[in-house]
Amino acid sequence: MKNRKLNQWLWKWHFIAGIISLPFVIVLSITGGIYLFKSDVENEVIQGIQKLIPEEKSERLSYDKQWEIAQKNSKRKLNSVVLDDGDLSTEFIAGRFGGKQSVYVNPYSGKVSGTFKAKDTWMYSVRKLHGELLGGKVGTKVVELITSWMVVLILSGLYIWFPFVRGIKGVFTVRLKEGKRTLFRDLHAVTGFWISILLLIVLAGGFPWTDVFGGNFKKVQKWTNTGYPKTWSGRGLTSTVKEKRLSLDEMISIANAQNLSGKITVGLPKSVKSTFSVSNKTFPLSGQKMIHFDQYSGELVKSHNWSDVGVLMRARMWLMAFHQGEFGGWNWYLMFAIAVLLTLTSIAAIFSYIFRKQKGKLSVPKSPKSFKQNYGLVIAILFLGVIFPLFGLSVVLIYLSELFTNRKSLNT
């Protein structure tokens, strides 16, 4: 049997947290759904730059010559080149992550066909709105706080709703003829139930990008040695210095001989002692490799497979890729469906509140006066507060606020 007093107490705080969070949740779900089209938007721009006119094809320039041209047209030092099939302009990259910029060189004419930065597309604004509400570091922490409470909302919502009053029948049916309040309440509850587990996985894939949780997660990876191997990025690896370095064409020939799948990138040496690196981005993630070669002899220095990556990093990368719908069509459509359904269930919750709200009152559910939190509940809250520090801080502030309010009411 369900603890009815606990149910009422959770319902009160589920309600309060929901009313505060829902406007933000709607923004996050809508922008998340839009951001799934990121590749389509960016690829359309890139294809316009990379696509070659058949008449332009003649004798192909060496990669070294193309690199010289690209470097002259880049204000930043180039760090890598993407291998192509010969029918596209060659992509040279400067920077990393969000600051990455690509310079495209026509391999036949030697002309720079264009440059590309993700920041130049309107999708970048969608990303900033989704990740930080256009509020910089403060906005990032607000998003982290809201997503932390979303975890609590999902868990408390499952307890409150299932199984209660309607039993198993309520999992599958929405009451259409019992008034608007009941209709929207059921739409919120039934839809929320069916996406709850997937939504928790989606949220888990978003947390690594956050400031506080993400920063702590990286520290745990470092302490437990469950991230990338130290030599994955080439740190600590050296080449035997000689008079002549391999040409970029020779290195790319070696890279092609590795028969890697997906998008293959050759990282350029950062100094006279560092190495060339060859990596690929492919799915499943288990097919990804990072291989380092002596920049003078071309000999293998270090080869890493995906199995060399620590378990926490592998889990993190899988969840982040799932979050972005990168595992193929099924993953993309699933993420888009979750974004749409989360928006609908959030809107349904707002309408449910509007139709239950009494005029002139907030209509906040009352919790039983005699209810005392048991050890299990306290431990669960403390556990979530440790995992999600911003949630923990907000709970402390709520507790202090309630304590102050209760003492004030006793003194009056």
Distance CA 388, CA 396 (A): 13
CA–CA distance from 206 to each of 143, 148, 149, 317, 319 (Å)? 10, 11, 14, 11, 8
For residue 344, name the pLDDT band (cuts at 50, 70, 90): very high
Q: What is the tens place of the pLDDT at every residue in 22-52?
A: 999 999 999 999 999 999 999 999 999 998 8
Q: What is the tens place of the pLDDT at every residue in 184-226?
A: 999 998 999 999 999 999 999 999 999 999 999 999 999 999 9
- Close Cβ partners of 249 (under 8 Å, ≥ 6 residues apart): 62, 63, 64
In a domain, 86, yes or no: no
What CATH number should be reported for the domain holding residue 282?
Answer: 3.10.450
In a domain, 265, yes or no: yes
pLDDT at residue 348 in the model: 95
Distance CA 60, CA 107 (A): 6
Q: Is the pLDDT of residue 339 over 90?
A: yes
In a domain, 143, yes or no: yes
Q: Is the pLDDT of residue 165 over 60?
A: no
236 and 198 both lie in a single domain: no
More confident residue, 76 or 406: 76
198 and 239 both lie in a single domain: no
Distance CA 363, CA 142 (A): 26
302 and 168 both lie in a single domain: no
pLDDT at residue 170 in the model: 75
In a domain, 391, yes or no: yes
In a domain, 283, yes or no: yes
Q: Is the pLDDT of residue 86 over 70?
A: no
Distance CA 301, CA 267 (A): 14
Asked if residues 4 and 160 have their Cβ atoms less than 8 Å apart, the reply is no
180 and 237 both lie in a single domain: no
Q: Is the pLDDT of residue 166 over 70?
A: no
- Close Cβ partners of 247 (under 8 Å, ≥ 6 residues apart): 62, 63, 64
Q: Which of 255, 289, 309 is the last residue of a domain?
A: 309
232 and 305 both lie in a single domain: yes
Asked if residues 66 and 82 have their Cβ atoms less than 8 Å apart, the reply is no
pLDDT at residue 405 in the model: 74
In a domain, 218, yes or no: no
Largest CA distance in the chain: 90
The CA-based dihedral angle spanning residues 228, 234, 238, 242, taken in that order and rounded to the nearest 10 degrees? 160
DSSP assignment of 83-121? ---SSBPEEEEES-GGG-EEEEE-TTT--EEEEEEGGGS
Average predicted confidence (pLDDT) for the chain? 91
182 and 136 both lie in a single domain: yes
133 and 192 both lie in a single domain: yes
197 and 243 both lie in a single domain: no
Number of domains into which the chain is organized: 2
Q: What is the tens place of the pLDDT at every residue in 295-337?
A: 999 999 999 999 999 999 999 999 999 999 999 999 999 999 9
Distance CA 386, CA 380 (A): 10
Domain range enclosing 246: 228-309
Q: What is the tens place of the pLDDT at every residue in 276-298?
A: 999 999 998 999 999 999 999 99
For residue 164, name the pLDDT band (cuts at 50, 70, 90): low
Distance CA 264, CA 251 (A): 13
Q: Is the pLDDT of residue 411 over 70?
A: no
pTM for this model (two decimals) = 0.90
181 and 244 both lie in a single domain: no
137 and 241 both lie in a single domain: no
241 and 358 both lie in a single domain: no
26 and 136 both lie in a single domain: yes
Q: What is the tens place of the pLDDT at every residue in 126-161?
A: 999 999 999 999 999 999 999 999 999 999 998 888
In a domain, 221, yes or no: no
In a domain, 118, yes or no: no
The CA-based dihedral angle spanning residues 381, 386, 388, 390, taken in that order and rounded to the nearest 10 degrees? 90
For residue 360, name the pLDDT band (cuts at 50, 70, 90): confident
Q: Which of 261, 293, 309 is the last residue of a domain?
A: 309
Q: Is the pLDDT of residue 97 over 90?
A: no
More confident residue, 124 or 402: 124
